[in-house]
Chain A
Amino acid sequence: DAGITQSPRYKITETGRQVTLMCHQTWSHSYMFWYRQDLGHGLRLIYYSAAADITDKGEVPDGYVVSRSKTENFPLTLESATRSQTSVYFCASSRTSSYNEQFFGPGTRLTVL
């Protein structure tokens, strides 16, 4: 099906483990984004990408790594998970960085024990 998908939808891991959250879009949108959503903080941008092999830091990039070898995929890796990274993570895509609608995925709920 066309659209933007995230996997897994739910993940429980332990402190110190590496975790990768996947994001895939079928629209060939240039821009892709990773946000985290926490109570009281709203949506905070972690990283974004303007095209394959181009990535930029957002507001809260520490502890995260991204890559974008293909236009349609934008994985987010927590190299050594910490409890403060427990959150709901949303991936989004757009034709441009901000002037066009961002289409959000369904989210991944990550719990770090």
Chain B
Amino acid sequence: GENVEQHPSTLSVQEGDSAVIKCTYSDSASNYFPWYKQELGKGPQLIIDIRSNVGEKKDQRIAVTLNKTAKHFSLHITETQPEDSAVYFCAASEARNTPLVFGKGTRLSVIA
């Protein structure tokens, strides 16, 4: 089955700097890659996703890139703000009816 590895497990950046979180997956059939953000005491929430027919997707300060050949995808957050501090999870799925497989999460701290 699918295996998703996520790095780093913790990341600290200065406010205004960029943050990058990377994930690799094992199943070449996977074609949907969402990113979830979990704030303290809450459930995860979808922030951006990408499908295998797209190499990059942006939404304001966040972007996701996908390299299907290398089987890895990354989350990029620019101009980080304190409210970006949270745990971020990547995930992968190979089909509509196949459950998502999540990475182990990255705790991002933005230092003011």
Indicate if the CB atoms of A90 and B44 lie closer than 8 Å: yes
**What residues of chain A lie closer than 8 Å to B49, measured between beta carbons?**
101
Q: Is A61 an interface residue (CB 8 A)?
A: no
Q: Is A106's beta carbon under 8 Å from chain B?
A: yes
B46 on the interface (CB 8 Å rule)? yes
Main secondary structure of the interface of A (DSSP, over half): loop
- Once A58-B99, A104-B43 are accepted as A-B contacts, the answer to whether A40 and B104 lie under 8 Å apart by CB is yes
Chain A CB within 10 Å, residue with most, of B42, B89, B102: B102
- Residues from 38 to 94 in B contacting A, C-beta threshold 8 Å: 41-46, 49, 89, 93
Point out the residues of chain A lying under 8 angstroms from B6, CB to CB.
42
- Measured between beta carbons, the chain A residues less than 8 angstroms from B98 are 97-98
B44 interface neighbour in A48, A50, A58, A104, Cβ under 8 Å: A104
Number of interface residues of B (CB under 8 A): 24
Residues of B close to A102: CB separation below 8 A: 36, 44, 46, 100
B9 to A, closest residue via Cβ? A40
CB pair A98–B42 under 8 Å, yes or no, is no
Partner of A98, one of B45, B95, B105: B95
Q: A40-B104, A42-B89 are in contact. Are A98 and B96 (CB under 8 A)?
A: yes
A98 touches B100 (CB 8 A): yes
Residues of A within 8 A of B (CB): 33, 40-45, 48, 50, 58, 90, 92, 96-99, 101-102, 104-107
The chain B residues found within 8 Å of chain A, CB to CB, are 6, 32, 34, 36, 41-46, 49, 89, 93, 95-105
